[in-house]
Amino acid sequence: MHPMDALSAPATAPRQVRGACPHDCPDTCSLVTTVQDGVALRVQGNADHGPTGGVLCNKVSHYVERTYHPERLLQPMRRVGAKGEGRFEPVSWDAALDDIAGRLAAIAARDPQAILPYSYCGTMGLVQGESMAGRFFHKLGASLLDRTICASAGAEALVQTLGGKVGMKVEFFTESRLILVWGSNSIASNLHFWRLAQEAKRQGAKLVCIDPRRSETAEKCHEHVQLLPGTDAALALALMHELVVNGWTDEDYLARHTSGWDALRERALRWSPERAAAVCGIEAAQIRSLARDYGTTKPAAIRLNYGMQRVHGGGNAVRAVACLPAVTGAWRHRAGGMLLSTSGYFPVDRAALQRPDLLAGRTPRTINMVQIGDELLRPASPEFGPAIEAVIVYNSNPVAVAPESGKVVRGFAREDLFTVVMEQFRTDTADYADYLLPATTQLEHWDIHGTYGHTDVLLNRPAIAPVGASRTNTDVFRALAARMGFRDPCFQDDDFALCRQAFGDRIDFGLLEAQGFASLPIPDAPFAEGGFPTASGRCEFFSAALARSGQDGLPDHVPNHEPAGSSTRYPLAMISPPARNFLNSTFVNVQSLRDIEGEPLLEMCAADAAARGIGDGQVVRVFNDRGEYVCKVKVTPRARPGVVNGLGIWWRKLGLAGTNVNQLTSQRLTDMGRAPVFYDCLVDVQPA
């Protein structure tokens, strides 16, 4: 409603507050929130910020709906029902915090390692993420959490190849003549990159998508290479084979800026297109023509995303692909090279934010978040130490997002586990809380953000006061620290001070305050003359560090733990990529977005469906030895033969039988980075 239309004029004129999108998305948009009389009216993209370009995805365009959602948690609550039942009674903040601090202190007196933080990227903010929380758990001496659930295989691969999580500046993709969109459904999960790719396309660039699923992005590219999951390294090596035999290598760049080429060349020559085609489940001719495009089109750029690294050989796959631009010298041009993540460019002062020095010489054990199911069920032992007795969950929904959820649920259902969940909504995990504490959203708190998709730092100002009695994560940890008697001055820092500490003097904070974002000074073509952030300064095809750790020093095809076609009991490979209108399990409860996604679906090709007597829309059981998931089938060419796509990540409680895809995924790990293998999962499907 326009203010002039109101019967009684509002007290204040609308104003605009600049912020940052908090979500785990490479785009990290600059937000403009319109506020009137303390109420957020709408959230829009900042037109002054290049990477945002004034547009937001459909999800965050609904951020106001999410913020004022009728089911938003507004007061602290204490469990009254059984674990998982989700029945609570209201309790005051003081009563909740006193009791939580008392329970944690009693456990810590025996062994603080029995306490575990569990958090991920509900917000990517450096302040509401691991700043005050890190200080609190370090001071306590709690178990450390290995935060590996998303990107650590690819990250380790980049570190071992390029020397860091670095790559092309995203804006120059507009000038590329060939773009390989490799393991990324950009339209869904990297929309602002897709805009740039469209610009390149208009200027004549060819777009190729490499993905087992015929995704929204694949169908809009000129070509789709629909390989089997977990076979990307074989494809990359065969491309290299063709680059070598056709003389499309840049020998000058190879000699001056790479190491290990002789050995990698040898290996690539063992990967003929025919051999790779058999592994990848595609035609050798398609590999040959892709190699010709990649070898002869300049500048050529690769946009990898994380799809390819959620399998056993994910680290090797990313390494193999990351070698390609150095083989052709694509890095020479600012529109050539590759981009998986830019996060390594950001000079974040994590020691200042998280204060590991508060451990004061103690070395607590580390728990891998991917294996939270097994870890919660593990008894005390001399090797493991104490059983986990308390979990503090914030910025994450492990019951929905962690693999093998049958075990995760059993773990969180333990009567002797004390669970605190800090949340905006009553998620699947919240249902298992002993205390459920209402958290602020991005419109209600300060934060500061790096990103993994562009190269700007963003500042997020609060636009409105906390809704209900919600509190910031930092506030809760400050309050708990006070009750635990932690007297170090760092527990007094307010959120604005934490924003300043995140980068110290390494960014122009004045500029950040003035315009909401500040660009890092990165050369347009960062590796045109080599200068990779490895020890040798070269792109390391051969990684001495990997070789020392007993791994293959060269990238290779590492088969899936559960390769497609390897089991007669479970003949289908299931991948479970994110849905376009959700952000992992966030937004599943926003009705307007859920209406677009409809309901949990399993995509299956016509042949695989017919072979099982399954029709479109039929309810099916998807199952393996780890469990069972009931949902409807969509018969569609988006799925290739032998592969089904279980779109994620629905809340379990909204599923037909109270489970989601992660009932089926395994807790095994990748070759590098101790990461999950969500897309390395065999199943079968039957009519329910």
Binding site for ligand SF4 (CB under 6 A): 21, 23, 25, 27-29, 56-57, 59-60, 191, 583
Q: How far is the CB of 136 from ligand MGD (least distance, A)?
A: 14
Q: How far is the CB of 346 from ligand SF4 (least distance, A)?
A: 16
**Positive or negative: CA dihedral 494, 499, 505, 509:** negative
Task: State which residue, 53 or 559, has the beta carbon closest to ligand MGD.
Answer: 559
Please provide the DSSP assignment of 270-319 as one string: T--HHHHHHHHTS-HHHHHHHHHHHHH-SSEEEEE-GGGGSSTTHHHHHH
Task: State which residue, 72 or 241, has the beta carbon closest to ligand MGD.
Answer: 72
DSSP helix, strand, coil percent of the chain (3-state; round to 5): 35, 20, 45
Is 311 among the residues that bind ligand MGD (CB under 6 A)? yes
Q: Which does 221 bind (CB under 5 to 8 A by kind): ligand SF4, ligand MGD, Mo ion, none?
A: none
Please state, as a whole number, how many other Cβ atoms lie within 10 Å of the Cβ of residue 352: 16
Task: State which residue, 369 or 664, has the beta carbon closest to Mo ion.
Answer: 369
Please state, as a whole number, how many other Cβ atoms lie within 10 Å of the Cβ of residue 106: 12
Site for ligand MGD in 169-208 (CB under 6 A): 182-185, 188-189
Q: How many CA atoms lie within 13 A of 307 on its CB side?
A: 32
Question: Could you say which DSSP state residue 456 is in?
Answer: E
Is 148 among the residues that bind ligand MGD (CB under 6 A)? no
Question: Rg for the chain (alpha carbons), in Å?
Answer: 25
Site for ligand MGD in 631-670 (CB under 6 A): 648-649, 661-662, 665
Question: CA 109: distance to chain centroid?
Answer: 35
Binding residue for ligand MGD (CB under 6 A) from 130, 156, 171, 211? 211
Q: How far is the CB of 683 from Mo ion (least distance, A)?
A: 22
Task: State which residue, 294 or 651, has the beta carbon closest to Mo ion.
Answer: 651
Task: State which residue, 121 or 254, has the beta carbon closest to Mo ion.
Answer: 121
The span of 46-54, 89-97, 211-219, 273-281 binding ligand MGD (CB under 6 A) equals 211-219
Q: Which does 183 bind (CB under 5 to 8 A by kind): Mo ion, ligand SF4, ligand MGD, none?
A: ligand MGD
Beta partners for residue 144, in sequence order: 366
Q: How far is the CB of 368 from ligand MGD (least distance, A)?
A: 13
Is 150 among the residues that bind Mo ion (CB under 5 A)? yes
Q: How far is the CB of 192 from ligand SF4 (least distance, A)?
A: 6
Is 212 among the residues that bind ligand MGD (CB under 6 A)? yes
Q: Which does 113 bind (CB under 5 to 8 A by kind): ligand SF4, ligand MGD, Mo ion, none?
A: none
Beta partners for residue 33, in sequence order: 17, 43
Identify the CA nearest to 62 among candidates 592, 445, 462.
Answer: 592
Q: Which does 353 bind (CB under 5 to 8 A by kind): ligand SF4, Mo ion, ligand MGD, none?
A: none
Site for ligand MGD in 546-605 (CB under 6 A): 575-578, 580, 582-586
Q: How far is the CB of 660 from ligand MGD (least distance, A)?
A: 8
Q: How far is the CB of 16 from ligand SF4 (least distance, A)?
A: 16
Q: How far is the CB of 587 from ligand SF4 (least distance, A)?
A: 9
Crossing angle for the helix pair 314-328 and 232-245, to the nearest 10 degrees: 20
Which helix (H) or strand (E) is 144 found in, with range? strand 144-146
Task: State which residue, 341 or 534, has the beta carbon closest to Mo ion.
Answer: 341
User: Is 676 within 8 Å of 310 (Cβ atoms)?
Assistant: yes
Measured between its terminal Cα atoms, the distance across the chain in Å is: 49
Is 149 among the residues that bind ligand MGD (CB under 6 A)? yes
Q: How far is the CB of 170 from ligand SF4 (least distance, A)?
A: 13
Binding residue for ligand MGD (CB under 6 A) from 343, 396, 455, 663? 396
**Whole-number Cα distances in Å, 285 to 25, 239, 275, 278, 308:** 35, 12, 12, 12, 22
Q: Which does 457 bind (CB under 5 to 8 A by kind): ligand MGD, ligand SF4, Mo ion, none?
A: none
Tell me how many degrees the CA angle 60-155-647 measures, rounded to the nearest 5: 45
Residues 6+ apart with CB under 8 A from 130: 119, 350, 353, 354
Residue type, 479: A
> Distance (Å, rounded) from C-alpha 580 to C-alpha 638?
14
Q: How far is the CB of 236 from Mo ion (least distance, A)?
A: 22
Q: How far is the CB of 421 from ligand SF4 (least distance, A)?
A: 23
Site for ligand MGD in 465-494 (CB under 6 A): 473
Residues lying near Mo ion in the complex (CB under 5 A) are found at: 150
